[in-house]
Amino acid sequence: MVTEENLDVCLTREPLDVAAAVARVACREAGGIGIFLGTTRAETGPAAEGRAGALVSLDYHAYEEMALTQFRKIATEAFKKWPVARAVVWHRLGEVKVGEASVVIAVSCPHRGEAFDACEFLIDEVKKVAPIWKREVYESATRWQ
């Protein structure tokens, strides 16, 4: 059963704290913690030059109420498919500069394989269904994704 104690979802404009996410999912029942950390990567080379210079940051926007509802719905599916003890789904909004984290998913389960599988499921589903959009900010242009 999913409760506030075993599931933490949020959208924030503050930097994501990976250590806090790990601490939030750590518990005596879990022998494995799976973590996914999505960061803004530098884009260089011909593809980036064609987009008006290097990528500076990503600017995330969301339909916040619906995104949080989707996070909970996806997590509920993960709790049904795997023996998830606790889970975190945190996503940044606003400007996320190159090298900074935009999303952290952490999942604890009795065994590592289950934690890895549940973590992969969560990030894949968040990317598919959460109403979150990003604007790519380049040195001299922007582009919505």
Domain range 7-144, its CATH number among 3.90.1170.50, 2.30.30.240, 1.10.10.10, 3.90.1170.40: 3.90.1170.40
Average pLDDT over residues 9-14: 98
Ramachandran category for residue 53: left, alpha or beta (phi over 0 → left; psi -120 to 50 → alpha): left
Average pLDDT over residues 111-124: 98
With beta carbons less than 8 A apart as the criterion, state whether 96 and 20 touch.
no
pLDDT at position 46: 52
pLDDT at position 44: 64
pLDDT digits (tens, 9 = 90+) for 70-94: 999 999 999 999 999 999 999 999 9
pLDDT at position 140: 85
CB atoms within 10 A of CB 145: 7
Q: How many CA atoms lie within 13 A of 40 on its CB side?
A: 26
pLDDT digits (tens, 9 = 90+) for 23-70: 999 999 999 999 999 999 987 655 555 657 888 999 999 999 999 999
Kindly state the percentage of the chain with pLDDT values over 70. 94
Beta partners for residue 38, in sequence order: 103
Contacts of 3 (CB under 8 A, 6+ apart): none
Kindly indicate the confidence band of residue 143, based on its pLDDT and cuts at 50, 70 and 90: confident
Which string of DSSP letters, residue by residue, matches 24-71?
A: HH--TT-SEEEEEEEEPPP--SHHHHTTTS-EEEEEEEE-HHHHHHHH
Token pair recorded at residue 31: 């022998």
- Predicted TM-score of the model (pTM): 0.92
